Structure 1
Amino acid sequence: MPAPPTHPVDVLLLLTDADQVLLALRDGTGYADGQWNLPSGKLEPDEDAISAVIREAREEIGLRLSPDELRLAATVHHRNSAGHARIGLVFAVPHDPGRHGLPFNAEPHKCAKIEWFPTALLPSNTYPYTTACVQAFSEGRPFALDGW
């Protein structure tokens, strides 16, 4: 009998500024290097999704977010080219520099740079999972499948 499915849970931050979204160019991790990605990460043991996205925002782009401003914008069930599946909880936050601070590349050992892009015009080398998350948010779809 096959083993029951295992779907890691990711949290992804969709930080917006008008019609733009902040992306990070992965570098030196062995995973999706050279591709643009939303600030994101996996849930750690005994960590809730809200705490995780706040932690990831601080670790990756140096922002201070509060739980009451996070809005679940979409859930994406993603399957990569190797057939591994995961669940992504996409939280949207409009950037407020006075409250959050200015984003910066807080993990230069994992990220070459961060940059703002129009949500409707993502770079061609955006990781497909990120593209699916941004599209679901832009289209107001609360759930999306990607890679199935």
Structure 2
Amino acid sequence: MAERYQVTVDVHVILERAGEILLCLRQGTGYRDGWYCLPSGHLEAGETVVECAIREAREEVGVVIDPGHLRPATVVHHLSPEGDPRIGVFFAAEVWDGEVVNAEPNKCGRVDWVPADRLPDRTVPYTVAGVGFYRSGVSVGVHGWPEFADAGAR
């Protein structure tokens, strides 16, 4: 009998305002430090993806998002350069409570609002893929799998 497929689930939050999205500059994490990513994190045991999105936004950038203001953005089946598969669930929100701050200065150098159509060169490719799929209306995308050449599926 074949083993069941196990995969890490990441949850990403695209905070939007006036054509811009919020990115965090990674610092002191040991992974892609000096690169931008969305507020995001791993799904914890017993937590829903919605709860995770709300938690990550609060922990990383200090805002509180009502579940009713989260919109499904896209899902990305990602294969890291190291060969680790992941499922990324991306949500978008334009409404939240509180002011955006760098709430995790030990993991983040700063937070920046950037044009959604012009992400910085040093943006994590997984983030670039998720934002791109979302902006293109792709519901489910594949990234990092050589045989799929980063194609999206609707």
Q: What range describes the TM-score normalised by the shorter chain of this pair?
A: over 0.9
List 4+ stretches of structure 1 deviating above 6 A: none
C-alpha separation between the residues in 2 aligned to 1:3 and 1:122? 39
Q: Secondary structure at the match of 1:5?
A: coil
C-alpha separation between the residues in 2 aligned to 1:106 and 1:33? 17
Which of 114, 135, 139 is residue 138 of structure 1 equivalent to? 135
Aligned residue number for residue 126 of structure 1: 123
Q: Deviations over 1:24-76 (max 9, x none)?
A: 00000101111100000011111111111000000000001111111111001
Superposition deviation, residue 119 in structure 1: 1.0
C-alpha separation between the residues in 2 aligned to 1:145 and 1:58? 28
Q: Secondary structure at the match of 1:135?
A: helix
Aligned residue number for residue 54 of structure 1: 54
Superposition deviation, residue 2 in structure 1: 7.5
C-alpha RMSD over aligned residues: 1.3
List gaps (5 residues or longer) in structure 1.
Answer: none
**Could you tell me the TM-score, scaled by structure 1's length?**
0.94
Q: Trace 1:33-112 onto structure 2 (pairs within 5 A).
A: 33-94=33-94, 96=95, 99-112=96-109
AA aligned to 2:114 is F
C-alpha separation between the residues in 1 aligned to 2:41 and 2:32? 13
C-alpha separation between the residues in 2 aligned to 1:147 and 1:3? 23
C-alpha separation between the residues in 2 aligned to 1:106 and 1:19? 23
List gaps (5 residues or longer) in structure 2.
Answer: 146-154
Q: Secondary structure at the match of 1:100?
A: coil
**Could you tell me the TM-score, scaled by structure 2's length?**
0.90
More moved, 2-11 vs 24-33: 2-11
Q: Deviations over 1:67-120 (max 9, x none)?
A: 1111111001111110101001100001x4xx5211100000000000011111
C-alpha separation between the residues in 2 aligned to 1:4 and 1:68? 33
AA aligned to 1:61 is V
Superposition deviation, residue 137 in structure 1: 1.0
C-alpha separation between the residues in 1 aligned to 2:120 and 2:3? 37
